[in-house]
Homo-oligomer: A and B are copies of this chain.
Amino acid sequence: MEQVSMEATNPNPSSMSGVAAASAAELLCCANARALLDSVDAFLFDCDGDKLIDGVPQTLDMLRSKGKKLVFVTNNSTKSRIQYANKFQSLGLSVNQDEIFSSSFAAAMYLKVNQFPPHKKVYVIGGEGIVQELQLAGFTALGGPEDAEKRAQWKSNCLFEHDKYVGAVVVGLDPDINYYKLQYATLCIRENPGCLFIATNRDSVGHMTDLQEWPGAGCMVAAVCGSTEQEPIVVGKPSTFMMDFLLQKFNVSTSRMCMVGDRLDTDILFGQNAGCKTLLVLSGVTTQSTLDDPSNSIKPDYYTNKVSDILSLLGE
């Protein structure tokens, strides 16, 4: 892969929704399914919802056989890509780790494409997934699960020592967040010249259990914003870093990508803002009536009941 300098950007969610609202969503049918397939080189599937992949192995196989790139996108940073591939495998889906774009991987790739110096280190607030991806990319990671039980000493003459070679702090969802980690990250960002502050994502909450929404990475990221008075570089959704990365890696432009997901205000809006085609599946949180409601201004290019409709409509 060529080394290029890329900035992760956070598009203004409202900037293009007006354009999108002007055209109605088309129900996927034989004719436009064929046109979609011909106009797209990469399908991006959102994996953060609950019913992301509903019995679609044959659909994925067909898309691969047509030479389409498949990318499974998730803001969850707790797992590495290998761990994700294993999880998909256990669900009966054959997904290669190269097809997974998790925010943990995104953080490592951001450093890679921005030529982060190999002698510098990365401090992690987050889980094993981030640490693993950083190490796989050749970086030295500190913190993460290793610092789960550490405690900062509150004594009047105490000096909290931190590594002066830390050149980036990566913050993601951390079920073992503590004051020690917050202080370590804060000192690196405030005191190490040029230290980067990278957020896997800023989701306020997520489905950590089936029954409730729990604080997401946005909670830990905000904590570090609060103590450092700095804003992070976001590499997961809704940042378009992923699209920039795919363009570099596979030479696929965003106009030839199709974002597939079940949420209008995240998946579809994100895809539209990045300049991708969009396909809404009604197998998740969005119903036909929500899509059709006059108050909804976010219209995907196409919609269908479920991912496997692509296969049946093409008669393959």
Chain B residues lying within 8 Å of A177, measured Cβ to Cβ, are 177-179, 182, 223
Chain A positions 177-205 with a Cβ under 8 Å from a chain B Cβ = 177-179, 182-183, 186-187, 190, 202, 204-205
Question: A156: CB under 8 A from chain B?
Answer: yes
State how many angstroms separate the Cβ of A1 from the closest Cβ of chain B: 33
Collect the chain B residues with CB atoms within 8 Å of residue A175's CB: 152, 154, 179
A301 at the interface (CB under 8 A from B): no
Instruction: Indicate with 1 or 0, residue by residue over A194-235, a CB within 8 angstroms of chain B CB atoms.
Output: 000000001011001111111110111111111111000000
A204–B182 touching, CB < 8 Å? no
What is the bound-complex CA distance between A33 and B127, given in angstroms?
59
Please count how many residues in chain A sit with their CB below 8 Å of the partner chain's CB atoms.
Answer: 43
A165 proximal to B (CB < 8 A): no
Is B160 a contact of A215 with CB atoms below 8 Å?
no
Question: CB-CB < 8 A to A159: which residues of B?
Answer: 209, 211-212
- Chain B residues near A214 (CB, 8 Å)? 152, 160, 183, 186
Query: Which residues on B sit within 8 Å (CB–CB) of A91?
Result: none
Let me know if A22 is at the binding interface, CB within 8 A: no
| Complex contacts, A204 vs chain B, CB 8 Å | 226-229
Is A31 located at the chain interface by the 8 A CB criterion?
Answer: no
Q: Is the CB of B209 within 8 A of A156?
A: yes
Interface centre among A202, A212, A226 (most CB of B within 10 A): A226
> Is A176 in contact with chain B by the CB < 8 A criterion?
yes
Partner pick for A157 among B176, B187, B210, B219, CB 8 A cutoff:
B210
Tell me, in angstroms, the Cα distance from A190 to B213 when the chains sit together.
10
A35 is an interface residue with CB less than 8 A from chain B: no
A174 interface residue, CB < 8 Å from B? yes
Q: How far is the CA of A160 from the CA of B175 in the complex (A)?
A: 14
Chain B residues in 8 Å Cβ range of A222: 222-223, 225-227
Contact A211 B157 (CB under 8 A): yes
Residue from A178, A187, A209, A220 with most neighbouring chain B CB atoms (10 Å): A209
Q: 5 shortest A-B CB distances, which residue pairs?
A: A222-B226, A215-B227, A223-B223, A219-B227, A222-B222
